[in-house]
Amino acid sequence: MKPCKDLLAGISDFVDGSASDELCEEIRRHMEGCENCRVVVDTTRRTVQLFKGDELLEELPADFKERLHGSLRDAWLKKNAH
């Protein structure tokens, strides 16, 4: 079995589902015998998923949102006045 550090470079592709079949098999086999690597792969995947989630998009600050739409209306009027 390869040492853990040799598998680190492949973790990104593995969690993205873009790793080669060979690499996938290698990582899966390694994880069966290495709890530490299983934890790292699993928590790395969950890290990426958390940030990708639409439900955690940030709300615009309310005062900025109001200013933004006001500025857009002004810019629109200016553009269409010409």
Partner 1 sequence: MKDSRETDEKLFDRAEESALVLRAKGGDFEAFDLLVRRCEKRVWTVAWRLLGTREDAENVVQSAFIKALEVLETFRGDSSFCTWVGRIANRKALDVLRRRKRERTSSLDELTTEEDFAPIAHPELLVDWREDPTRGVEREELRRILDSALLQLPVNLRSIFVLRDIEGMDTAQAAAELGISVSNAKVRLLRARLRLREELTKAFGGEALVHHHLEPGGLGGLAAALEDFS
Token representation of residue 68: 């933004």
Please enumerate in sequence order all residues whose Cβ is within 8 A of that of 40, keeping only pairs 6 or more positions apart, or say none.
11
- Least separation in angstroms between residue 45's CB and partner 1 is 9
* Three-class SS of 20-55: CHHHHHHHHHHHHHCHHHHHHHHHHHHHHHHHHCHH
Pick 22 or 36: Cβ nearer partner 1: 36
Pick 22 or 50: Cβ nearer partner 1: 50
* Helix, strand or coil, per DSSP, at residue 66: helix
- Least separation in angstroms between residue 34's CB and partner 1 is 8
Kindly list the residues in this chain that would bind partner 1 in the complex (CB under 8 A).
Answer: 3-5, 8-9, 11-12, 15, 36-37, 39-40, 42-44, 46-48, 50-52, 54-61, 64-65, 67-69, 71-73, 75-77, 79-80
